Amino acid sequence: MFQFLNPLWLIGAAAIAIPVLIHLWNIRPGKVLKVGSIGLIDAASRKSSRSLKLLDVPLFLLRCLMLILLALVLALPVWQKRMPVVKAKGWILIPKESFKATYSKFKPTVDSLTRAGYEFHYFNTGFAKGSIAQIINPPKDAVIKQDSVKLTNRQPNYWSLIRQLDDKVSSDIPVYLFTPNQAKYFTGNKPEAALQLNWQTYTPADSTSTWIQKAWFTPSGDIRIAQGQSHPSGTSFQYANVRESTGNSVYKIQTNNGQAQISLTQGKQAPITVNTAVQHIAIYTDDNSLDAGYLKAALQAVSQFTQRKTIIKTISNPAQLNANTDWLFWLSEKPISKTYINYCKNILAYQAGKPIAVNGWMSNVEPYATAVAEVNKVNLYKIISGAGGIRTSVWKEASGQPVITSTQQDSTQIYHFYSRFNPAWNDLVWSDTFPAWLLQLMQEPASNISNTDDKRMLSAQQYLPQTTTTAHTIASSNNVENNSLKRYFWLALLVVFSAERWLAHRKTQTTERS
């Protein structure tokens, strides 16, 4: 079947009007008649003679045909051939960025599925089809065609890919997926899918990591270090003090351009600069001075633990807010002016809305946790309705309802608190863990840990998508083969152009002789 891939260019065929006008508009001067006397000729009867006549018909037709052929070439002509639809027995999917390690872990299973007729596809955007045999053992002295998978420095999101896969593959086709199980590959909300999915994962060999997250000078002149450690069961931070002048066997201290830098003596992490700045924290009270009192006491406990130079200021007027504030606790339902938002690196604000009574608890565990220890639970009595949306949850209620959500606005991280720092709303202000919860909230979140350092592992219960019962069939779009006819039209255009040039040159020579 003859088709055009870019039919919009067919409008260009209207350009044939140009040679039509050129050939039709042929002006000829009137003939001069010799007479004996002009007295009988009326002066007003003088007229110019014009003749609209189609001349050089072959040249005219060649030029019209040339313009039509050019329009057809630009419209990308193809001959479409219906191919028999061959339904795949199943799919095998492996991420391209970890293909070698993943294949070596599941080689017997993958090879068995390949022999059974399963198609291999990369578990990347587009799910490009490939051949495992050619990937593992490319033919000698052969030019291997590059596949269409484009890798970027951006970390892949397996849950996002599952949503795309659900739109790509029919629910009656078995899908075998092989990937690493590290938490850094899973972001956002767990997807829903109607796939026949068999998802097998493994823990990479380098399953532990230690690094210095940040360091700062204490009021006594020591260097306080927040050292992160990540392993399959989770990520934690421990703190240590070291003298700048001495150092020790664990940490190496050096000076670069007048700034103190610190690094691990055993490790590949580049040295980080020791922070000399003072941390500024502001509490806007509005009408919630009681809440501000509880919060300030907890923040003072955090400051004593971290030993960071900290100034905690309580304000009743937003105009008292200083620029370059590290944390603003906005204990009000009033909206925050964008001017004050730009002053702050982080903001925690009371969320406006209708409070509803609940009889449950809230927790500050990581979003992947399937069980919550008692130490991470606090009784909850009130919550603002309508929490959630597309924001990232930080604290959650027992049923999964968000209590604190996080969003990014320009360079400011904004946390929306759907409860209050008040004993009428929850028991957090009475709990010994209140300062620890604030410390976890204010320290570097897991999203700020580099992908190289994050080694957390998810279980199948955590990473498997929600199964839906709505089956769907994806119509095959690959059962049509397009054979380009462009080269034939280019050849015809070249022949017509050569004929037009030859005929135009011949006409010029004939005119000169005459």
Please give the model's pTM, rounded to 2 decimal places: 0.60
pLDDT given at position 497: 86
pLDDT at position 146 is 45
Q: Please give the chain's pLDDT, 514 residues, in tens.
A: 777 777 776 776 676 677 666 666 655 555 555 656 555 555 545 554 444 455 567 777 887 888 888 888 888 888 877 765 556 789 999 999 999 999 999 999 999 999 999 999 999 998 998 888 888 887 665 544 444 455 555 788 999 999 999 988 888 899 999 999 988 898 877 888 999 999 999 988 878 889 998 899 999 889 999 888 888 888 888 888 998 776 678 888 888 888 899 999 887 888 999 999 999 999 999 899 999 999 999 999 999 999 999 999 999 999 999 888 999 999 999 999 998 999 999 999 999 989 999 988 988 876 555 555 566 789 999 999 875 555 667 888 888 788 998 888 888 999 999 999 999 999 999 998 999 999 988 876 555 677 788 888 888 888 899 888 777 666 555 566 778 888 888 888 888 888 888 887 777 777 666 6
What pLDDT score was predicted for residue 396? 86
Residues 6+ apart with CB under 8 A from 76: 4, 5, 6, 9, 484, 486
Q: Quick one: pLDDT at residue 473? A: 67
How far lies 56's CA from each of 247, 404, 496, 503, in Å?
96, 82, 16, 10
pLDDT, tens digit, 9 for 90 and up, residues 224-279 = 998 888 888 888 888 889 987 766 788 888 888 888 999 998 878 889 999 999 99
In angstroms, rounded to a whole number, what is the distance separating the alpha carbons of residues 253 and 272?
10
Determine how β-strand 412-417 pairs with β-strand 344-350. Answer: parallel
Instruction: Give CB contacts under 8 A, 24+ apart, made by 503-506.
Output: 503/58, 503/59, 503/62, 504/59
Cα separation, 426 vs 380, whole angstroms: 4
What is the pLDDT at residue 368? Answer: 56
Predicted local confidence at residue 147, as pLDDT: 47
Smallest CA-to-CA distance from 103 within 51, 30, 176, 157 is with 176
Interatomic CA distance for residues 109 and 92, integer angstroms = 10
Helix (H) or strand (E) holding 179: strand 174-180
Residues 6+ apart with CB under 8 A from 105: 178, 202
The superfamily CATH assigns to domain 279-448 is Class I glutamine amidotransferase (GATase) domain (3.40.50.880)
- In this prediction, residue 455 carries a pLDDT of 87
Summarised one tens digit per residue, pLDDT across range 429-477 is 999 899 999 998 887 655 567 778 888 888 888 889 988 877 766 655 5
Domain locations in the chain as residue ranges: 2-31+48-83+482-513, 91-206+459-467, 209-273, 279-448
pLDDT of residue 144: 47
Backbone phi, then psi, for 330, in 5-degree steps? -95, 90
